[in-house]
Each structure stands twice: as C-alpha cells, then as structure tokens.
C-alpha cells in the first residue's frame, strides 16, 4: 500500500456531523468563570464532565497541588521503579488503600492505563475471563492482551453469570470483570452477589470503581462500602480523575497482588510516574471527602434529583439507573447528536453516546450535574432547561448509524473482543 493510500484509509467520515451542523467532540474549552467552562467567550453549564463532587475547582485542592509542585517539581521525570517514586506518591498509595478498605494500592498515570496493563500480568492463556457485556473499553482492551477464552455475560445478570461460572472447571483460573457504576446510564453492579458467586466457583472478581469512588457509600468510599463488602478478595481499579477531581488511576487488592504488579507490570514500571501535583491534589480530596462528604454528597444527590425532575417535566425519555447520572434515550445516532446540540444551544454541555459505544438504536445523552453548582447556579441551569425544545422537535433527516462508527465513547468498541465471544 502506498503511504498516501494508507493515510487516506484512516480518514474519518464527518459528513453526518457536518449535515447536523454540530460536532460535540473535542470542543475547545477555555478557562473557568465562576466554576463554569468558557467556549468562544460564552459561559456554559458543565453537565458533561465527571466532576461529581465539584472538587476539581476547589481552591484547597489547587493549593495542595501547588505545594506539592514546589516541593517535588512539576514531574519526577522517571518511572516509579527508578527515580519517580516520590514520598508523596507512596503516601497517596497508602491513603487510597486505607480509603477503599484494601490491603494495598498502586498508582498509575490513568485508570485506562491501569486496566489495559492489568490482565496480561495476572491472567494466562489457559484461563477464562467472564466480563459484563457493557464493560468499559479499557477493560476490553486489557482482556484482549491475554489471548485467553473470554465469555461475556448479560449486563448485571447474575443467573447468566452463574451458568458461565459453572462451566469454568476446565480452566486454570476464572476471572469475573465488571464496573461498579456503568457510566452510560448509571446502573450499579450487584457486586456483593458477584463476589459470593466468585467464592463459590473459585473465581477472582475484578471491579472498576471509577464512577463509584467518591460517589457511592455512606461516606463516599465507593462500591465496597456501598455493598458492605469487607475483606474484598479480588482486584480493584479506579480513576482518580472523576469524583476525586484530578488525574491518575489505581489498582488495589491483596499485598501479594500489589507487590507482584509493582515489579512486573509494564504499564507501571515503564511509564513516567503520576505527577506530584496530582498526587497532592488527590490527597487533599480524600481528606475533604472524609470530613465533608455528608454535606457534599447530599448536595450531589439533591441536585441529581432536581435535574431528573426537570428532565421529566420536559418529557425527555429517561433511562437512568440509581447512580447520580441522568441518561436520556436518544435512539438513533443522529437524534442523539441532535439532542446534544439542543442542550448546547442553551449553553449546556452534555455527553452523547453513539455506536460503537452503545448498540445501534440505543444512543444515549448523559448528564452529570453533581455538586458543581451552588443554589443560584442551579436555579440558572433550571431556567435554561425550561426553554429547551421538546425532544420530538429535533430534526429527523435520515443519517445511518453506520456513519457514526468512528467517534468512540465509553463502551467496548466493536471488535475489541471479536473472536472469543461466547454468550452460551
């Protein structure tokens, strides 16, 4: 193939977005004004980011990040196994383990990186991995690196999972992989039941708590607190860039697991360590959650309730789960993008999920309000939403879902697990 032909083969068809006169991806945002993002001189309501507790713009977090940078520099410029393991990073790992109730933890530059790096270190080709059908793309990519049998189970269907587990006797080891909160519509995994099933069939549970840590549980400590799971026997991953308001990821679990990964995980030992500023910021957020989650968590939940009430009043077709994520059923990719445009025209940023992030015809518009707005800001948002056009008024010009195959979202992209699927 000629190089020019090769590069042309990578071209993305943006004609559907051009036809709709709106591209919701890679919006060029400016700085914050009163905690709200700027775009081309206009101030928007942010219902697209995962800043559940509104702590990414908290001045105490900024101060903690600044102090860490002053002490350690902008970067350690080294991998953790070499010159990158600053004391503040070790302290963060200790505090994350304490916060989640795990024996030990490792910090990665992102949770995507942690998930992709994990499975090749713990699973073998003679193993089997059972994974929730709606699992995040990073889990799918990581699972793919192992080359073992992969058997998806129906979303949050524990009866189907048990049938799959009952057929794992011939494998060296079985793993059961899920998210805690599924970020497209906010459903929550029945992790307690899953852990019990894993114990019955000698399987290792693996949970990604990225949308649960700082959100679920009486004191905000995530899915393990929410489901009252003590002495968790499995592997735990989470993002530090959602409710924890910074960047980075973690893997936690038993001491033996963490020590093995510390010396064998390529995604950790060959990657520049998380910046000291982010480590300082997360440490500050953990302390804020310990002391203030009662107030902040209540505001997050109350704001979410008011958001759902307003959306129902405007007759949007909601498909939201119990987590503080509002999800509007958009149907076709075209209609979902059109819904995002309607909100955008009212200065509201949202997240549209279209194929391959979701199945054809299952487009979803996600809104996360969290605790980002004070009462006055919330009233302003509700006024803006009161003038939204009814969903049925969105344009209906035919555009095939196939045209939207390239823009990626949260779900496992088409083909990631191809060739090893088994829905028996």
CATH (domain of 398): 3.90.1150.10
CATH (domain of 159): 3.40.640.10
- pLDDT grade, residue 423 (50/70/90)? very low
Count, residues in the chain: 424
Give a yes or no: residue 418 inside a domain: no
Asked if pLDDT for residue 349 goes beyond 70, the answer is: yes
> What are the tens digits of pLDDT across the range 95-150?
999 999 999 999 999 999 999 999 999 999 999 999 999 999 999 999 999 999 99
pLDDT, residue 387, reads 87
Final residue of a domain: which of 218, 252, 287?
287
Domain that holds residue 136: 59-287
- pLDDT grade, residue 392 (50/70/90)? low
pLDDT, residue 403, reads 39
What is the mean pLDDT of the segment spanning 16-36?
89
Looking at the fold, whether 311 and 187 belong to one and the same domain comes out as no
Q: What token pair was written down for 212? A: 């649960």
Looking at the fold, whether 272 and 327 belong to one and the same domain comes out as no
Looking at the fold, whether 64 and 97 belong to one and the same domain comes out as yes
Give a yes or no: residue 31 inside a domain: yes
Our count of domains for the chain comes to: 2
Alpha-carbon separation of residue 21 from 65, 186, 215, 332, 337 (angstroms) = 40, 29, 36, 17, 10
Looking at the fold, whether 115 and 251 belong to one and the same domain comes out as yes
Looking at the fold, whether 52 and 93 belong to one and the same domain comes out as no
Task: State percent of the chain over pLDDT 70.
Answer: 92
Looking at the fold, whether 191 and 334 belong to one and the same domain comes out as no
> What are the tens digits of pLDDT across the range 175-230?
999 999 999 999 999 999 999 999 999 999 999 999 999 999 999 999 999 999 99
> What are the tens digits of pLDDT across the range 305-329?
999 999 999 999 999 899 999 999 9
- pLDDT grade, residue 359 (50/70/90)? confident
Looking at the fold, whether 379 and 265 belong to one and the same domain comes out as no
- pLDDT grade, residue 420 (50/70/90)? very low
What is the mean pLDDT of the segment spanning 66-83?
97
Q: Which of 155-169, 247-261, 366-380 has the lowest mean pLDDT?
A: 366-380
Give a yes or no: residue 411 inside a domain: no
Looking at the fold, whether 229 and 196 belong to one and the same domain comes out as yes
Contact between 243 and 214 under an 8 Å Cβ cutoff? The reply is: yes
pLDDT, the chain, mean: 91
pTM of the model: 0.92
Give a yes or no: residue 169 inside a domain: yes
Looking at the fold, whether 308 and 395 belong to one and the same domain comes out as yes
Looking at the fold, whether 269 and 169 belong to one and the same domain comes out as yes
Give a yes or no: residue 420 inside a domain: no
Looking at the fold, whether 366 and 264 belong to one and the same domain comes out as no
Final residue of a domain: which of 254, 287, 320?
287
Task: State percent of the chain over pLDDT 90.
Answer: 85
Looking at the fold, whether 269 and 212 belong to one and the same domain comes out as yes
pLDDT, residue 393, reads 46
pLDDT, residue 358, reads 86
- pLDDT grade, residue 394 (50/70/90)? very low
Give a yes or no: residue 410 inside a domain: no
Final residue of a domain: which of 287, 313, 348?
287
Give a yes or no: residue 417 inside a domain: no
């Amino acid at each position: 193939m000629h190089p020019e032909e090769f590069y042309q083969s990578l071209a993305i068809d943006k004609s559907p977005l051009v036809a709709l006169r709106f591209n919701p991806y890679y919006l060029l945002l400016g700085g914050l004004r009163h905690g709200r993002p700027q775009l081309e001189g206009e101030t928007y309501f942010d219902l697209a980011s995962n800043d559940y507790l509104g702590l990414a713009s908290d001045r105490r977090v900024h101060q903690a990040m600044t102090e860490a940078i002053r002490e350690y520099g902008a970067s350690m410029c080294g991998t953790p196994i070499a010159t990158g393991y600053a004391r503040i990073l070790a302290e963060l790992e200790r505090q994350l383990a304490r916060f989640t109730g795990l024996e030990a933890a490792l910090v990665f530059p992102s949770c995507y990186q942690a998930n992709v790096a994990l499975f090749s270190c713990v699973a073998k080709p003679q193993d089997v991995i059972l994974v929730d059908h709606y699992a995040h793309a990073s889990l799918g990519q990581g699972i793919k690196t192992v080359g073992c049998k992969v058997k998806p189970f129906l979303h949050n269907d524990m009866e189907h999972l048990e049938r799959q587990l009952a057929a794992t006797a011939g494998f060296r080891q079985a793993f059961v992989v899920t998210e805690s909160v599924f970020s497209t519509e906010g459903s929550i995994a029945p992790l307690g039941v899953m852990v019990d099933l894993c114990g019955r069939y000698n399987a290792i549970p693996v949970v990604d708590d990225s949308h649960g840590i700082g959100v679920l549980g009486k004191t905000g400590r995530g899915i393990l607190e929410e489901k009252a799971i003590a002495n968790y026997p499995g592997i735990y991953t989470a993002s530090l860039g959602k409710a924890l308001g910074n960047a980075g990821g973690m893997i936690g679990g038993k001491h033996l697991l963490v020590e093995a990964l510390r010396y064998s995980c390529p995604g950790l030992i060959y990657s520049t360590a998380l910046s000291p500023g982010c480590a300082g910021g997360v440490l500050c957020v953990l302390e804020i959650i310990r002391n203030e989650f009662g107030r902040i968590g209540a505001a997050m939940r109350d704001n979410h309730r008011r958001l759902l009430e307003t959306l129902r009043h405007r007759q949007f077709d909601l498909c939201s789960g119990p987590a503080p994520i509002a999800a509007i059923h958009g149907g076709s990719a075209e209609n979902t993008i059109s819904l995002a445009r309607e909100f955008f025209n009212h200065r509201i940023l949202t997240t549209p999920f279209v194929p391959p992030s979701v199945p054809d015809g299952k487009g979803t518009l996600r809104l996360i309000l969290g605790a980002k707005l004070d009462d006055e800001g919330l009233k302003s948002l509700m006024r803006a939403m009161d003038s939204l056009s009814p969903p049925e008024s969105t344009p209906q010009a035919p555009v095939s879902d196939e045209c939207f195959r390239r823009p990626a979202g949260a779900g496992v992209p088409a083909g990631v697990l191809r060739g090893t699927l088994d829905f028996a």
